[in-house]
Amino acid sequence: MGKIKYIIIFLVVFALGLVLVKGVDRIIANSVIARDSEMLASKFQMYITESAEQILEMPRLDPGVTCTAELESLLKQKTFDSSFVRWLAIYKDNQVLCQSGVIPHDLTALKAHKVRENLSIAVASHNTQTSHELFLMRHMEGIDYIASITPLRPRYFVPVDCERCLEYKVSLDSDPYIEFGFDNFADEPVVYHVVQEQNPYYHATFELSGNRVFLEQYSQLGWRVSVATGIVLGLLACLVYWRWNNHQISLDSQIKRGIQRGEFIPYYQPIVDSSTGMPVGAEVLVRWLRHDNRMIPPNQFIPFAEARGHILPMTTSMLNKVINDIQLLGGQSPPLFFSINIVPAHLENDDFYHQLQEIVESGMLGHHRLSLEITERLPIKDMTLARQTLDKIYALGIDLKLDDAGTGYGCFSYVQHLGISTLKIDKMFVDTIGQSHNFNGKTLDAIISFANESKLHVIAEGVETVEQQGYLGELGVKLIQGYYYSKPLAAEDFFKFTLA
Ligand code: C2E
Ligand code: CA
Ligand code: CA
């Protein structure tokens, strides 16, 4: 079973590792696309501005100009000098009048978008798809220069060895609306990025997309990385689990050893009647005094001890110490009750009852008595059985208090079925005293009136201030447990406290 757990953990985390790297692949692919669409936008701007500068440097023409050898060589020279102008011509009445070279250009359906008074970007509208030709026009009166500009090609960008994986679309928000692009694959894009560019000349949208082949560039690069990551994470998870498991096992055995060595000792927190200032009892609170003299508070081991079934022997060991303390130190004290925290498991059979019976019948308690408290936070599986056990315990003169009243869901039902004598109000409600806008403040009043109606005694827990003590006193709550009177004390200190 142990090995299977490790295998399952490894496989689950391994699979998560693969998914994680796949996710990372996509993140990288997306960031590449984002970076390149910015590049596309800036290249477009660079092509346009540089080419515009070039053709604006050309001499101004009259409508009546004719194509001379000199003009032709000027056009050739300009094409040669400029980085992005591939062909330059003089254009009049939809006719090429003079050109830098005889290259076929279909100018019949040009869509031009003015970017300045005398400049337009133009695209031959019928070939917006697989290849397009981008033109820049300089308008003069009745005659134009027209320049063919180097097309934007996404495959100039990364990744190098994916020929048909990237495409783009540029739309100029213009009248007429111009859209052109490079349609390079037939399948759906899986990653894409859109950049909006707004400058004094144009407002354009650049969309660069990659398909599955593009994404695979990154996954191919990543599959070894994926497996390696999966293995590393899987092994790490097994290691963490192994360490955690060892810790649990060692905590388990430390608690067992602690019980055998009697390391769980009782502390006593006085419960005082505020009307007389006299202690009437104590709550017994366990402390783990380790062999190295470290004192461990209960919240660090009680939940674990409950879950692992150590709580019953722990209570027994502690109860024996309580009896010992009472016999040794309690002779002079006034009559007190000692309230022991129990869990539902204590009521599932007669074992605990028999222990209590033995203690009571032995007379070791002297003029003191025992009491029990159970938290309403832990559910009781079999109420009838619990009540049967409790009735035997009640017959010994031991009563049951409901701990943490109001914090769980069991309050009403526990009071109804278990024969509770006293409600212990949790610190959480006591803390609301003096806070006018606290919802829990209403609950405090409700618990107290519920207790009065049900003829239950009340103990307020976690009372720290004179204000809290006073408020509770006015509502008739006289039994107080809290730092206001005392913190939980070691046996000797507690019995001294009761004599003071
Ligand atoms: P609990 O039964 O509600 O015990 C009251 C807790 O409130 C104690 O914490 C006590 O020290 C603390 N307390 C009392 N008055 C004040 C106050 O005025 N201010 C503040 N800040 N705290 C106050 P402790 O001793 O740490 O115990 C924590 C919990 O551990 C207990 O809560 C109880 O649920 C559990 N526990 C303690 N001993 C035993 C035991 O022997 N058996 C079982 N099953 N549980 C135990
Ligand atoms: Ca308690
Ligand atoms: Ca409590």
Which residue owns the Cα nearest ligand 1 atom 37?
A: 285
Decide whether any atom of ligand 1 lies within 6 Å of the 298 Cβ.
yes
**Contacts of 56 by beta carbon, 8 Å cutoff, 6+ apart:** 119, 138
Tens digit of each residue's pLDDT (9 = 90 or more) over 173-183: 777 788 888 88
Cis peptide before 176 (omega within 30 of 0): yes
For residue 139, pLDDT beyond 90 = yes
What integer best gives the mean pLDDT of the chain? 90
- The residues near 284 (Cβ < 8 Å, ≥ 6 apart) are 266, 267, 268, 318, 322, 338, 339, 340, 341
- H/E run at residue 156: none
For residue 297 and ligand 1, the question of a CB distance below 6 A is answered with yes
CA distance 464 to 471: 12
Split at pLDDT 50, 70, 90, the class of 114 is confident
Helix/strand/coil for 377: coil
Is the pLDDT assigned to residue 36 strictly greater than 90? no
The H-or-E segment that residue 304 falls in is helix 302-307
Which residue, among 41, 155, 136, 132, has the nearest Cα to 87 in the 3D structure? 136
Our answer on whether the CB atom of 462 is closer than 6 Å to any ligand 1 atom is yes
Amino acid at 422: T
String of DSSP letters for 91-149 = EETTEEEEESS------TTEEEEEEETTEEEEEEGGG-SSS--EEEEEEETTEEEEEEE
Decide whether any atom of ligand 1 lies within 6 Å of the 311 Cβ: yes
- Range 380-385 average pLDDT: 94
Q: Which ligand is nearest to the CA of 374?
A: 2
Best residue among 289, 295, 302, 486 to mutate for probing ligand 1's pocket (most ligand atoms within 8 Å of CB) is 302
**Range in 125-134, 136-145, 223-232, 280-289 the model is least confident about:** 125-134
**Residue 159: its pLDDT value, please?**
58
Which pair of structure tokens corresponds to residue 56? 């604006």
Decide if pLDDT at 222 tops 50.
Answer: yes
Which range has the worst mean pLDDT, 54-63, 112-121, 270-279? 112-121
- β strands within 200-277, DSSP E: 203-210, 264-273
- Six token digits for residue 196: 């909006």
CA distances from 176 to 111, 113, 122 (A): 7, 6, 10
Structural domains of the chain ordered from first start: 2-217 (no CATH), 262-499 (3.20.20.450)
The 10s digit of each residue's pLDDT in 270-320 is 999 999 999 999 999 999 999 889 999 999 999 999 998 999 999 999 999
Q: Confidence band (pLDDT; 50, 70, 90) for 418?
A: very high
Cα(424) to centroid(ligand 3), Å: 6
pLDDT in tens, 146-175: 999 988 776 556 555 677 888 888 888 777
DSSP type of residue 489? B
pLDDT of 371 strictly over 50: yes
Question: Could you tell me if the CB of 341 is within 6 A of ligand 1?
Answer: yes
**What pLDDT does 128 receive?**
45
Distance 385 CA to ligand 2 centre (A): 22
Q: Picking from 127-136, 139-148, 311-320, 403-412, which range would have the lowest pLDDT averaged per residue?
A: 127-136
